[in-house]
A = this chain, B = another copy of it.
Amino acid sequence: MTQHTFTLTVSCADQSGIIAAVTGCIAETGGNILNLAQHTAVDIGMFFCRVSFAGTEGFTEARFREAFDKIAAKFSMDWQFFDNDRKKKVAVLVSKTSHCLYEILLKHADGELDCEIPVIISNHPDLAHIATSFHIPFFQVDVKKGKHEYERDLEEILSRYDIELVVLARYMQVMSAEFCERWDTKVINIHHGFLPAFKGAKPYHQAWQKGVKLIGATGHFATADLDQGPIIYQDVITVADTCSVDEFIRMGKDVERTVIVEAVRRYLSHSIFLWQGRTFVIE
């Protein structure tokens, strides 16, 4: 029999007795801790914690919320409670390149991304066949309508599928500031450069021009400031100066696909804490 499990995330100013209070409350309401990850960021005096636990007989979400509310009030905590049986609904947005989409679908099929992917959306028809072969509805949106109009279409689709997270998997359209605000911390983008270096267009060309010896990719929350949102995950590969720009583009694909999947995975496991424009990912 598989257990019914829950995840609790907590952030607050650092102070004495937090862990004992949190773990005590879980134990008293009938929870059995499976995993506890915690970090005190000494530079800013903040405490971040994520606890997974199984509900034993008698545990109910309502009772836990009532009990934990008191502790949260005492320590001035921000907290979130997740029922791990409820899978997040994720939409993937793509344009013409397939490597990030394939990676997400293959990892999802392999059980590595704990979510549902009920819809794939694109501004081009090119990747429809991939959606089809994975039996996922594919929608094409028409960006020529103008940003306002087309984003309304987009949101209608997202709404129809109860989407909770949008993944821009090499989607070659900049979202409007309004969209980014409405979907704040709910849109993950992959940038094909090691941010904060090489923002904006053609990052591999920029990197080649500068003669850097490593190229990378960055998974981050999309914000109104292009390529400036909180970084979730990054990785790089070493490149030789014998590589052309085309080789950068080719080699970079492997980093991009790894990074987008790892960024989404961290989101789905409730590992990302936000503080003043940067993340603390606690695993």
Interface residues of A, Cβ cutoff 8 Å to B: 16-20, 23-24, 26-27, 32-36, 38-43, 56, 98-99, 102, 106, 110, 112, 133, 194-198, 208-214, 216, 230-231, 233-236, 240-242, 244-245, 250, 253-254, 258, 277-282
Cα distance A274–B212 in the bound complex, in angstroms: 13
Question: How many Å from the CB of A35 to the closest CB on chain B?
Answer: 7
Among the listed B33, B99, B258, which residue makes an inter-chain contact with A106, where contact means beta carbons less than 8 Å apart?
B99
11 pairs, A vs B, C-beta closer than 8 Å: A16-B32, A35-B38, A36-B36, A39-B241, A43-B245, A194-B214, A196-B210, A211-B231, A213-B234, A240-B281, A242-B282
Whether A282 and B241, one on each chain, are in contact in the complex, defined by CB atoms closer than 8 angstroms, is yes
Residues of B within 8 A of A197 (CB): 194-197
Cα distance A98–B214 in the bound complex, in angstroms: 27
Whether B32 and A27, one on each chain, are in contact in the complex, defined by CB atoms closer than 8 angstroms, is no
Residues of B within 8 A of A23 (CB): 19-20, 23-24
Among the listed B211, B213, B231, B254, which residue makes an inter-chain contact with A210, where contact means beta carbons less than 8 Å apart?
B231
Question: How many Å from the CB of A176 to the closest CB on chain B?
Answer: 24
Given A27-B17, A282-B241, A110:B250 Cβ within 8 A = yes
Residues of B within 8 A of A253 (CB): 110
Cα distance A16–B30 in the bound complex, in angstroms: 10
Leading 4 A-B pairs by shortest Cβ distance: A211-B278, A20-B27, A197-B197, A213-B234
Whether A19 and B39, one on each chain, are in contact in the complex, defined by CB atoms closer than 8 angstroms, is no
Cα distance A102–B230 in the bound complex, in angstroms: 32
Cα distance A230–B194 in the bound complex, in angstroms: 18
Among the listed B198, B213, B230, B242, which residue makes an inter-chain contact with A233, where contact means beta carbons less than 8 Å apart?
B213
Whether A209 and B278, one on each chain, are in contact in the complex, defined by CB atoms closer than 8 angstroms, is yes
Residues of B within 8 A of A26 (CB): 20
Whether A56 and B16, one on each chain, are in contact in the complex, defined by CB atoms closer than 8 angstroms, is yes
Given A23-B24, A194-B194, 16 extra CB contacts under 8 A: A16-B56, A20-B23, A20-B24, A20-B33, A23-B23, A43-B245, A102-B102, A110-B250, A195-B212, A196-B212, A197-B197, A210-B231, A211-B231, A211-B279, A213-B281, A241-B279
